[in-house]
Chains A and B, each alone.
Chain A
């Protein structure tokens, strides 16, 4: 199977030849349904902006990463000296084979592929980013989850020396997030090691972060050090900070508003002052692949 590099899919080409773009992406991702998904959201949404990759400059300077401060430009300004080597990741909890693995080993054992995903932030903006990563299920399978494992808890690094934001009780540090086991095992859920064909920048969560494209951005933890399989639903840092505003599921859903603002529309980053808001789509446009995870569930109740 041919793998396309980012350099072969420039944003200009995307504009000129949308069909070729979609085909390439399907191949680039190594699985056809990624391509299908973009076709779905493309036809549901006539706005071409949505298919355009967000400038590298914005992807790497406009970040929510409260470990480095709450301002959008704080992460890029304050994370450049952050040390990501050596870095070990522990996978433990309800597993038969607990693993402690270094970042070098991860890069060697799990080759990264390009995945172009849309990132929808709970604040009402979105970006389209060419990530490099591999399915989380590949690494979870190595640890052999027991049948008690029902949820996966992600724990990010705790290092107030290097992360100035952690010196303030903004959130319950270290950053914690969680997924249901089936969500974690889903092929769309990836561990990210890079973007735009390059090593993952510190401000985007280096050396290892999660990306769950059908959920609001805060579900995709950065700088992960521990992946724990557990039997009970973990409480994330955001759930703890404001339980009636941030639920465990936090699936992108235009019909369920944040208690304080609407989620019906979003701004496309980099669109400029004249670009309009676009309608937000259910599951961020990935409904065809993930809606079946939630059949019969009241998504207003389990927000």
Chain B
């Protein structure tokens, strides 16, 4: 029973990837295919950030350790989709036109903050192994708090790129803030019971 859990979650996490691949190969992306891929992968990155952030609150409310066991994998999927998103922009949209890309990263705040979020994911990926968790001890937890900043950056990125109404990006921001607040309370409760 246990052994099928992780591969099952892994397969579920790949579903968005299969959907977008299917759409690309069957030409089902509509009039602006490149934008469609960018939006799809960008939104799934943000969704995976939200899912990953929900794992420890879920553990607390349900008392299943299962959630914590899949947390690392979910975190790696954040990086997976963020990288697909970045590659869509760099390779498919701007065709490695570095001067234009660098110009955008430096001058356009929504690209800048998205890029910053992606860069911040790298140390988390590099230190995601069991070995690293043991080696870094306390610092591992501290380092992995970066995900909160990444989450905020990701939703700001979405707000800044929107032309007028911020309905959808604001919903993500509210979800993320809510998930962060859950944690703050959690710590307070612990310190009081100590």
Which A residues form the contact surface with B (CB < 8 A)? 58, 61-62, 66, 70, 72, 123, 125, 168, 170-171, 241-242, 257, 260-262, 264-265, 267, 269-270, 272-273, 276-277
Contacts and interface: CB of A to CB of B under 8 A. Distances in A.
A251 B149 CA distance: 38
B100 interface: yes
B165 A170 contact: yes
Which of under 10, 10 to 19, 20 to 34, or 35 or more describes the interface residues of B? 20 to 34
Contacts of A261: 104, 108, 110, 161
A270 B24 CA distance: 14
Given A170-B165, A272-B27, A273-B92, A264 B35 contact: no
22 contacts: A62-B31, A62-B32, A66-B164, A72-B31, A170-B165, A257-B107, A261-B104, A261-B161, A262-B100, A262-B104, A262-B108, A265-B100, A267-B32, A267-B35, A269-B31, A270-B31, A273-B24, A273-B27, A273-B37, A273-B92, A277-B93, A277-B94
B27 A171 contact: no
Nearest to A271: B33
Given A62-B32, A66-B164, A168-B165, 20 more contacts: A61-B31, A62-B31, A70-B164, A72-B31, A170-B165, A260-B108, A260-B109, A260-B110, A261-B108, A261-B110, A262-B103, A262-B104, A264-B100, A267-B34, A269-B31, A273-B24, A273-B27, A273-B33, A273-B34, A273-B37
A58 B32 CA distance: 10
B145 interface: no
Q: Is the interface of A mostly helix, strand, loop or mixed?
A: loop
Contacts of A273: 24, 27, 29, 33-34, 37, 92
B7 interface: no
A57 to B, nearest CB: 8
B75 to A, nearest CB: 29
Interface string B106-126: 011110000000000000000
A171 B29 CA distance: 29
A269 B32 contact: yes
Q: Is the interface of B mostly helix, strand, loop or mixed?
A: helix
Q: Looking at A125, A171, A260, which has the most chain B CB atoms within 10 Å of its CB?
A: A260
B160 interface: yes
B22 to A, nearest CB: 13
Contact of A276 (B95, B110, B161): B95
Q: Looking at B37, B108, B161, which has the most chain A CB atoms within 10 Å of its CB?
A: B108
B37 to A, nearest CB: 8
Contacts of A270: 31
A171 B165 CA distance: 9
Contacts of B161: 260-261
Contacts of A265: 100
A-B CB proximity, top 5 nearest: A273-B33, A62-B31, A58-B31, A269-B31, A170-B165
Interface string B11-27: 00000000000001001
A296 B24 CA distance: 48
Nearest to B36: A273
A72 B163 CA distance: 13
B8 interface: no
Contacts of A242: 164
Nearest to B110: A260
Contacts of B107: 257
Q: Looking at A70, A171, A273, which has the most chain B CB atoms within 10 Å of its CB?
A: A273
A70 B165 contact: yes
Contacts of A125: 32
A264 B164 CA distance: 21
Contacts of B29: 273
B109 to A, nearest CB: 7
Nearest to A276: B95
B156 to A, nearest CB: 12
Contacts of A171: 164
A12 B31 CA distance: 19
Contact of A241 (B27, B35, B37, B164): B164
A231 B94 CA distance: 44
A242 B160 CA distance: 13
Interface in B81-109: 92-95, 100, 103-104, 107-109
A241 to B, nearest CB: 6
A125 B35 CA distance: 10
Contacts of B34: 267, 273
Contact of A170 (B94, B100, B164): B164
